[in-house]
Structure 1
Amino acid sequence: MMLSKSILFTLALVSNVPGSLAHWTYSRLVVNDEVVGEPWQYIRHHNNSNAPLTDVNSTDFRCNFNAQTAETYTVRAGDKIGFGIDEHFGHPGIQQVYLSRVPESSTAANYDGSGGWARVYSLTTAPANSTNSSSTTGNEGDDEVVTWATHNIQSFQLPLPATTPPGEYLLRAEGLALHAAHKWACAQFYVSCAQIKVVASSNIGGKGESAEFGPLVKIPGVYKGDEPGVLIPVFWSSLTNYTTPGPALWPEGTQEQHVVEQL
């Protein structure tokens, strides 16, 4: 029996719901345990809704598709800073943050992100036996499969390094979903950029200078698409170890995080 067009349309909508609900974006800036401003007030509003990016070689990979300028929020080096997530981190994967210093001759409002970017935060796998996981352990005697500290999070915060040099910056949230990343160019990136102005931390004598901001990478250019962590060897629910992509974290000595700090 032939199905009517209306029934087919309804089935198509139903089949698309889980995927669309699992997507997300970052529209809110979080500072010191509080959401500041309105959605998109300090974060560049892009025209990509909650769809992922898959082309790591596009300039859209910096701040997302057709991202518009926002207001710039002032923070102190050493403050906690982060993003609110709409609706939640809906796929297995990791959350990273990159920071790019605006040239002194420019401002965050008109900076295109073509300069260098430092990786300042990486939230990756959850601790063993954590309840904050998106997968299960294997059969008895098997290696445990990877679980994710990002599972269903709705916000996250990180300490902005106290040695961050004063100036204006783009702060880039990068969520990497790995549910299809066993196939070439199918890793899904969810990206937004906040505009911030950093003033010196009051805890270090008002200097806030760092001799070595970096290592710095260019975006695009930070990933090729075939490195471990972006192209994974097996379907995500069978992973027993994970290598995070990106340059060394800044400042030197910063560690990957395995427990998230939410609001």
Structure 2
Amino acid sequence: MLFKTLAGAFAIASSAPTVLAHWTYSRLIVNDEVVGEPWQYIRRHNNSNTPLTNPNGTEFRCNAGAQQQPSETYAVRAGDELGFGVDEHFGHPGVQQVYLSRAPSGVAAADYDGSGGWARVYSLTYAPPTNSSSDGDEEKEVLTWATDNIQSFRFPLSAATPPGEYLVRAEGLALHAAHKRGEAQFYVSCAQVRVVAGGNETEGEVGGGEEEEPGPLLPIPGMYRGDDPGVLIPVFWSYLTNYTAPGPPLWPGGTLEQHVPKEL
């Protein structure tokens, strides 16, 4: 059953205990609709809405226990718009990013452990500044966050994405304690999708558009360190006047960091 409104999609309450300001991702959005039931196309993890703070373990790929949880795979077209529903809402200052990893040939997304490379395809960071002055003597404006209280977000899946089975990884990075090493909080889930070029699910039939291998690719774990800029911030978050998100360059080349969320 498809839900056309966010209110309808998220009416089902989570059975997990609520922790103030914490969240997870349990719903997949394709174009302008939430598809399926909670966790139907997203790997259910056993971490409730507790954040990860160690980027050096395999659980950093799709969250703790996610490899053991069966999920279905949803067919999408290269060029579609994808997204995630956020339970309950994005409750801390920080950034929302998305990574994409293609399963090896002949391996289904449901059987893929995420040990290959990951490309960064979406980054939503701070809100547009209200102070437009370029005078270097002007006091810089403290950043506010485009993610504040969002309940969903959407992003384009490049039309150049090659057909195949993929993990699509939502990564929320909360910065409220990130001025201390090891205290950045990561909220992670992985959706399973089958990308079909040109909207045709027949193997070997490719629609219009020139394909391009996603990249640069980095492994997870190994993509971040605890002291990377953007993971470890120089001052308490409410004093930040500039911010650079962690991760490799966005793919495809020319993709821009976003400062206004596209919600459902």
TM-score bucket (shorter structure): 0.7 to 0.9
Equivalent residue for 1:214? 215
Per mean C-alpha deviation after superposition, the further-off stretch among 121-130 and 216-225 is 121-130
TM-score, normalization: structure 2?
A: 0.86
Q: How does 1:1-263 map to 2 (within 5 A)?
A: 20-67=19-66, 68-129=69-130, 142-201=139-198, 206=207, 209-263=210-264
- Which residue of structure 2 lines up, in the alignment, with residue 134 of structure 1? none
Instruction: Supply the distance in 2 between the matched residues of 1:243 and 1:257 (Cα, whole angstroms).
Output: 12
RMSD between aligned residues: 1.6
Distance 1:103 1:82, change over 3 A: same
For structure 1, the 5+ residue unaligned runs are 1-18, 131-140
Alignment coverage as a number of residue pairs: 234
Code of the residue aligned with 2:253 in structure 1: it is: E
Contact 2:177 2:184 in 1 (8 A): yes
CA drift of 1:145 comes to 0.5
Deviation at 1:20? 2.0
Query: Which one has a bigger Cα radius of gyration?
Result: 1
Q: How far apart are residue 234 of structure 1 and its match? A: 0.4
Check the 8 A contact 1:77/1:208 in 2, yes or no: no
Which residue does 1:8 correspond to in 2?
Answer: none
SS of match in other structure, 1:184: coil
What is the SS of the residue equivalent to 1:161? coil
1:165–1:208: 8 Å Cα contact kept in structure 2?
no
Aligned partners of 2:118, 2:208: CA distance in 1, in Å?
A: 22
> 2:203 aligns to what?
none
Q: Is the 8 A contact 2:29 2:82 kept in 1?
A: yes
**Quick check: which one's helix share is greater?**
1
Deviation at 1:208, TM superposition (A): 5.0
Amino acid at match of 2:23: W
C-alpha contact 2:159 2:211 (8 A) present in aligned 1: no
Q: 1:69-119 CA distances to partner (integer Å, 9 max, x unpaired)?
A: 310000000001010000000000000000000111211011000001000
Q: Which amino acid aligns with 1:36?
A: V
Instruction: Supply the distance in 2 between the matched residues of 1:201 and 1:258 (Cα, whole angstroms).
Output: 29
Structure 1, residues 200-259: CA drift from partner, whole Å, max 9, x if none? 0359x7155534420000000110110110000000000010011100000011000011
How high is the sequence identity, in percent, across the aligned residues? 73
1:180 touches 1:186 (CA, 8 Å); kept in 2?
yes
Gaps of 5+ in 2: 1-17, 132-137, 201-205
Separation (CA, whole Å) in 1 of partners of 2:210 and 2:55:
32
Q: Please report how far the alpha carbon of residue 197 of structure 1 lies from its aligned counterpart in structure 2 after TM superposition.
A: 0.2
Equivalent residue letter for 2:85: G
Distance 2:192 2:214 in 1: 18
